[in-house]
Structure 1
Amino acid sequence: MVDGLSVIVSGGSMGGLFAALALGEAGHSVDVFERAAGELEGRGAGIVAQPSMLDYLERRGIACRGGYTLTTHRREYLNRDGSLREARSDSMTFTGWDTLYRRLRDAVVEGRYHEGHVVGFERDGEEVVVRFADGSERRADLLVIAEGGRSETREALLPDVSPEYAGYVAWRGLIGERDVPSDLIERFEDTFVFFEGERQLILGYLIPGPDGETGRGERRLNWVWYDDVRDRERLDELLTDSQGTERDFSVAPGDLRGEVERDLRRAAEEEFPDPFSRLVGETREPFVQTIYDLSAPEMAFGRVCLLGDAAFVARPHTAAGTAKAAADAIGLGAALDGSDPVTALGDWERERLAAGRRLVREGIRMGEGYMG
């Protein structure tokens, strides 16, 4: 094993945190830099917690799955009038993005998570010189880029690679269990619920509270509405926030323009069955994200590598984005057990490129099935 590799991770979200944990466990010295360090903890959305990721966290004593997840055992599809169209047994485990983030963040070695924005790097022999927005520099044996799908560093490395809009958006919302009528909660109890319309899909499920609370009254209802938006002018309108700023990929909770939010609730009432029309109507701060595909042809560049969404973004239908970032990180930790980091990164890249391509293809296939 190579002892004492110094590693800088650019990006302190899910991929960056998993990288810090896996590389730290492998015996390397890891520092994580996140430009929005004070903002991440408040992000809220439901995610599917894949078994491989849950097993990793439990084996390492980071999180016991029963303490921050909820599992449904039934899947239902509704008709427009709210009646049951189809039901089947199906086990799915969910958590909150913020819930998982807190557990990962708490597991990172004290003093190794920093606020900082990586703006560039140079290779200097067997080291990488990393530059930050404040003008400072640091040297490391390895630079891991975990900046997400809008990675500026990836754009510098691969200027011809950019996210490709899929033609639809995801409206999302979270609402506390205490803020909705009990009969609405009961509709989602132990059940993953769907409604499919004409180029429309909405789904909902219960997730734990922000700190992993799973008791009745402490949980949250999470919903996602995939909405066909192929008209560029309409998309631009949706992505213009309450301050008049046009966003590229998303508008955060609380920042939707009033007319957009009113149209959203009206459309839900007209197009969706109860319980979804009520659920959207009672959500205080819905938000919107564009759906896009991203595939990088390379992940390793000497002593620099791309990880997680910085390399591949698969549509959320796969329910595997966070798990894929975790697998990238865990694989990287295992690969850097050899004598030559550059060779190890090459071997790791071949495996993770194949996995990323498969996931993106599956996301496209699923999206076309839902949205046409």
Structure 2
Amino acid sequence: MTGRLKRGRALVAGGSLGGLMAGAMLLREGWDVQVYERATGDVESRGAGIATHTELFEAFRRAGARIDDQIGSTLTGRTAFDRDGAEIGHYAHSQVLSPWSLLYRRLRETVPAAAYQSGKEVRCVHVGPGEAGLEFADGSKVEGDLVIGADGVWSTVREQMFPESLPVYCGYVAWRGLLDESSFDRAFGRYYGPLQSLYAEHGEQFIFHMVNGADDSLEEGRRRFGFLWYRSTDATSELPALLTDEHGVTHAHSIPPPKIQRAHIDHLRRIAGDLLPPQFAEVVRRTPRPFLQPIYDLRPEAIVRGRVALLGDAACVARPHVGAGVLKAACDAISLSQALKEASSIEAALMKYQADRVPECHRLVDKARHLGSYLEGTRRKGSSVPVLPIEDLLRDSGRG
């Protein structure tokens, strides 16, 4: 076959940001696209603050999503603090931080209701000569010309097509939280609002930042603060307890926020005063319901098999230190849509996509491992991995 590739039917497993970007781009290129999301509830509640980049905005434009002054709050720099709460370093760096929910809504507007189905949990992936299909937990099946696995860190598509490729626990977790700016006085919001604030010691790292309000507002007093508190957490003696809910059920890889035991949250609030600068300890104590994210990573050797391509966190899992989860999904979507636009066959396009994106997966995972290595089990006896210089953490974190 030569010449322009005939547009066919693309089946996208996963209706989060990566799946929406890929689906919207292919729709605009003339593909028949169907996006399938396993969740049936409030998808918008996922995530918190997202560090944006030029490439992410380019992906939004290609997807037909709105970009305007309300897309996020602009941070002017990064400041590090010591255990007593005093400034010890600053790096001037302008960056827009957007709430996950806002980005999701902007992208969801780009995919027609007829092309998006929720409550569709993928059970099987079918591949054959010149075709690919999906079977769902409800027994229904669909056939198409291409399957895009954009179904997250614990991707069913990856598990079936790349059983050798599994995320690995990194030895620490991130506690996350959101609270209203109105929880603090005006001076607090004005000082910390323009900053990404950082505290780092052995076994601990705390990041604090401003995002839009619950109604997407950027008006002073109506915004929200978000935090990430990375804590070294042993895989056998500590993590299973954190993943066990009030009913004694231990969840495999992560735990839904409403099911986190209240005792774990109470413990987090108690130890905050002993481990964090005073102003950040107070943030943790005031946050209504922190939630837990065990940190995993995955450095893949392949992301394409037959007419199946992985995208976003399904393809590669980089620790959050690089702030590149959504960025990488955006770049994946751009690369895939461009390859399908230029190639003469789906197979050739997917090979080009893989050759383009696997080296970038390796770069991101390696950089994230470098930034977070000191958190890996540093509270175990005899561990002495040094924290990177504060200047390096301020400069290199969250920049993809």
How far 1:315 sits from its partner (Å)? 0.4
What is the distance in 2 between the residues matched to 1:16 and 1:209?
25
How far 1:182 sits from its partner (Å)? 3.1
Identity within the alignment, %: 34
Partner residue, 2:84: 81
| Structure 2 residue 334 is matched with structure 1 residue 346 | no
What is the distance in 2 between the residues matched to 1:363 and 1:240?
28
Farther-moved stretch of structure 1 (38-47 vs 281-290): 38-47
How far 1:60 sits from its partner (Å)? 5.8
What is the distance in 2 between the residues matched to 1:90 and 1:24?
36
Task: String of CA shifts for 1:161-198, please: whole Å, max 9, x gaps.
Answer: 21111111001001122233434323312111111122
Task: String of CA shifts for 1:292-336, please: whole Å, max 9, x gaps.
Answer: 111222111111111111110000001111010111111111101
Partner residue, 1:291: 295
Farther-moved stretch of structure 1 (225-234 vs 277-286): 225-234
Partner residue, 1:362: 367
Task: String of CA shifts for 1:134-157, please: whole Å, max 9, x gaps.
Answer: 111111010111111101221111
Amino acid at match of 1:78: F
| Structure 2 residue 219 is matched with structure 1 residue 215 | yes
How far 1:369 sits from its partner (Å)? 4.9
Task: Give the secondary structure class of the aligned counterpart of 1:251.
Answer: coil
What is the distance in 2 between the residues matched to 1:72 and 1:229?
30
* Structure 2 counterparts to residues 322-333 of structure 1, below 5 A: 322-333=326-337
Amino acid at match of 2:257: P
Q: Kindly tell me the number of residue pairs found equivalent between the two proteins.
A: 372
Do 1:318 and 1:362's aligned partners in 2 also have CA atoms closer than 8 Å? yes
What is the distance in 1 between the residues matched to 2:54 and 2:277?
32
Partner residue, 1:136: 140
| CA 133–148 in structure 1, closer or farther in 2 if over 3 Å, else same | same
How far 1:211 sits from its partner (Å)? 4.5
Partner residue, 1:43: 46
What is the distance in 1 between the residues matched to 2:31 and 2:236?
47
TM-score normalized by structure 2?
Answer: 0.89
What is the distance in 2 between the residues matched to 1:88 and 1:134?
52
Farther-moved stretch of structure 1 (241-250 vs 265-274): 241-250
What is the distance in 1 between the residues matched to 2:129 and 2:322?
40
| Structure 2 residue 125 is matched with structure 1 residue 146 | no
User: Unpaired runs of 5+ in structure 2?
Assistant: 377-384, 386-400
| Structure 2 residue 9 is matched with structure 1 residue 6 | yes
What is the distance in 2 between the residues matched to 1:170 and 1:65?
31
User: What value does the CA root-mean-square deviation take over the aligned residues?
Assistant: 1.7
How far 1:59 sits from its partner (Å)? 6.4
What is the distance in 2 between the residues matched to 1:311 and 1:22?
18
Do 2:25 and 2:63's aligned partners in 1 also have CA atoms closer than 8 Å? no
| Structure 2 residue 338 is matched with structure 1 residue 334 | yes
Farther-moved stretch of structure 1 (319-328 vs 2-11): 2-11
What is the distance in 2 between the residues matched to 1:145 and 1:271?
40
What is the distance in 2 between the residues matched to 1:17 and 1:244?
36
Partner residue, 1:64: 67
How far 1:44 sits from its partner (Å)? 3.8
Partner residue, 1:320: 324
| CA 11–355 in structure 1, closer or farther in 2 if over 3 Å, else same | same
How far 1:268 sits from its partner (Å)? 0.8
Task: Give the secondary structure class of the aligned counterpart of 2:153.
Answer: coil
Do 1:26 and 1:334's aligned partners in 2 also have CA atoms closer than 8 Å? no
What is the distance in 1 between the residues matched to 2:7 and 2:51?
35
How far 1:38 sits from its partner (Å)? 2.6
| CA 213–3 in structure 1, closer or farther in 2 if over 3 Å, else same | farther
* Structure 2 counterparts to residues 171-320 of structure 1, below 5 A: 171-320=175-324
How far 1:249 sits from its partner (Å)? 2.7
